[in-house]
Amino acid sequence: MAGSIEKRGVNSWRLIYSMGYDHTGKRVKKTKTIKAKNKTEAKKKLAEFITEIEAGEYIDPSKMKFGDFVEEWKSKYARKHLSPTTIQTYEYAINNYLIPTFANKNLNEFKPIHIINYLDSLEHTRCDGKEGGLSSSTIKYHHRILRDIFTRATEWKIIKTNPVISVKSPKVAQAKHEVYTEEEVLELFQFLNDEPIHFRLIVMIAISSGLRRGEILGLQWDDVNFEERTIKVVHSLQYVNREGRKLSKPKTNNSIRTVVIPTYMVSELKKYKLRKQKERLKAAELWEGGDYFFVFSTWDGKPYFPQVPGRWWTGFLKRTGLKKIRFHDLRHTAATLLINQGVHAKVISERLGHADISTTMNVYGHYIREADEEAADKLNTLFTNSKKA
């Protein structure tokens, strides 16, 4: 068995690995076209090519199945470059939709029309047996996963072109979130007076600062500056299958931010911190927080599971009869309260930790328009009264 190289064009070479002859006398070989500056570099790549084949690690691109490549993508890219929570979300779509659909299809057989047909099918089918299809935002997520997988396949020279590139990302229909009005927030605060202090503070931080659930649970006392009335958002607490609770960076780089909180919140947090310090001293050697001192934790210092606030919130709404909204909608409530107070969208964007102001406009554009219309109506009343005078 031997290897050789053939020049194909400018900086282009074909690697040839001869594996002898089959039972019919036909020569058996594997080939691979590569880019190399000169013959010496091409020979080095030939040696690597031969090593891959003899070690059983080389897979002919023309025969690589989608399902096999996804496993390569997971080990060589996803686990090194994506967050554990992102991988967990990706895996649901991959295991329940992509693999059942494309597992045995060769990578080089994919065309843009296959991607288009797949995304269209998601509008009408689900894997959980429920009626209808997936939401537009979820379908967009499937497009993102496919683009990521095929981008790596292209970069690694498994395929020549990415079939997802020419498929437009699905448009997302922005739904209007259920939020609380100012009057409903005041009613909410009245009911919170009878609730455990940690849940009361969690809700108040969500409404006053717009922090995400994971960001609230990831807060440590070092992140709270009482003198400057600020909360520094540098961590997010997530739950990852097989890894349990995991402290990681927030969702995006823009999510790392400092948020000013109301004076009332400073007073409440000061009192709560004294309580938590006493808890820590009482726990003594049973303390399991390690070097971390979370703002919200169990008696022995361990952070809450991310599901804890949501479960309490569901029960709280049932007990009080308040309008049902999701716990995450408290973040949206924070945004709409600021909009109704006339706060600029750029400031709101920074408080919420959005990637840019366009994200804020896309999510809350309808609320901003409503506030603008209300302002115009007030001006109209002013002009009308002026005319009468």
**What's the CATH number where 337 sits?**
1.10.443.10
pLDDT tens per residue across span 13-71: 888 887 777 667 777 777 778 888 898 898 888 888 778 777 665 556 667 899 999 99
Q: Which of 111-115, 158-162, 236-240 has the highest mean pLDDT?
A: 111-115
Amino acid 243: pLDDT:
65
- Per-residue pLDDT, averaged over 247-257, amounts to 80
User: How buried is residue 65: exposed, middle or buried, by Cβ count under 10 Å (0-12/13-18/19+)?
Assistant: middle
Average per-residue pLDDT in the chain? Answer: 86
pLDDT tens per residue across span 164-194: 999 998 887 666 678 898 899 999 999 999 9
Confidence of residue 282 (pLDDT cuts 50, 70, 90): very high
H/E/C letters for each residue in the chain?
CEEEEEEEECCEEEEEEEEEECCCCCEEEEEEEEECCCHHHHHHHHHHHHHHHHCCCCCCHHHCEHHHHHHHHHHHHHHHHCCHHHHHHHHHHHHHHHHHHHCCCEHHHCCHHHHHHHHHHCCCCCCCCCCCCCCHHHHHHHHHHHHHHHHHHHHCCCCCCCCCCCCCCCCCCCCCCCCCCHHHHHHHHHHHCCCCHHHHHHHHHHHHHCCCHHHHHCCEHHHEECCCCEEEECCEEEEECCCEEEEECCCCHHHCEEEECCHHHHHHHHHHHHHHHHHHHHHHHHCCCCCCCECCECCCCCECCCHHHHHHHHHHHHHHCCCCCCCCHHHHHHHHHHHHCCCCHHHHHHHHCCCCHHHHHHHHHHHHHHHHHHHHHHHHHHHHHHHHC
Residues 53 and 77 in one domain: no
Residues 78 and 117 in one domain: yes
Amino acid 376: pLDDT:
64
Task: Give phi and psi for 250, each to the nearest 5.
Answer: -60, 175
Residues 340 and 198 in one domain: yes
Q: Which of 196-210, 245-259, 280-294 has the highest mean pLDDT?
A: 196-210
8 A C-beta contact, residue 13 and residue 34: yes
Residue 383 lies in a domain: no
CA distance linking residue 217 with residue 253, whole number of Å: 18
Residue 171 lies in a domain: no
Residues 54 and 87 in one domain: no
Residue 160 lies in a domain: no
Residues 259 and 323 in one domain: yes
Residue 295 lies in a domain: yes
Amino acid 295: pLDDT:
95
Q: What is the pTM of this model?
A: 0.66
Least confident of 18-22, 114-118, 284-288, 385-389: 385-389
pLDDT at 272 over 70: yes
Amino acid 64: pLDDT:
85
Residue of 358 and 210 predicted with greater confidence:
210
**What is the token pair recorded at 231?**
């909360």
Amino acid 371: pLDDT:
66
**What is the token pair recorded at 354?**
């959005």
Residues 316 and 368 in one domain: yes
CA distance linking residue 90 with residue 236, whole number of Å: 19
pLDDT tens per residue across span 140-156: 999 999 999 999 999 88
**What is the token pair recorded at 283?**
């726990």
Instruction: Count Cβ atoms below 10 Å from residue 33 Cβ, excluding itself.
Output: 13
Among candidate residues 41, 58, 75, the one where a domain is terminated: 58
Amino acid 301: pLDDT:
92
Residues 53 and 75 in one domain: no
Domain hosting residue 44, numbered range: 2-58
Distance of alpha carbon 27 from its chain centroid, rounded? 50
Amino acid 387: pLDDT:
56
Amino acid 61: pLDDT:
64
pLDDT tens per residue across span 82-140: 878 788 889 999 999 999 999 999 998 999 999 999 999 999 888 877 888 888 889 99
- Per-residue pLDDT, averaged over 247-269, amounts to 87
Amino acid 290: pLDDT:
84
Amino acid 177: pLDDT:
74
Amino acid 168: pLDDT:
92
8 A C-beta contact, residue 183 and residue 175: no
Residues 220 and 350 in one domain: yes
Residue 288 lies in a domain: yes
Question: CA nearest 349: which of 372, 327, 365?
Answer: 365
Amino acid 346: pLDDT:
86
Q: ∠310-311-316 over CA atoms, to 5°?
A: 95
Confidence of residue 345 (pLDDT cuts 50, 70, 90): confident
Domain count, the chain: 3
- Per-residue pLDDT, averaged over 321-349, amounts to 88
Amino acid 242: pLDDT:
63
Residues 36 and 78 in one domain: no
Residue 373, CA distances (Å) to 27, 171, 211, 370 in order: 78, 26, 28, 5
Residues 300 and 239 in one domain: yes
- Bridge partners for 2 per DSSP: 18
Residues 72 and 20 in one domain: no
Residue 41 lies in a domain: yes
What lies within 8 Å, CB to CB, of 344 at 6+ separation is none
Among candidate residues 13, 35, 58, the one where a domain is terminated: 58
CA distance linking residue 212 with residue 235, whole number of Å: 11
Residues 94 and 128 in one domain: yes
Residue 206 lies in a domain: yes
Amino acid 140: pLDDT:
92
Amino acid 158: pLDDT:
85
Among candidate residues 58, 74, 105, the one where a domain is terminated: 58
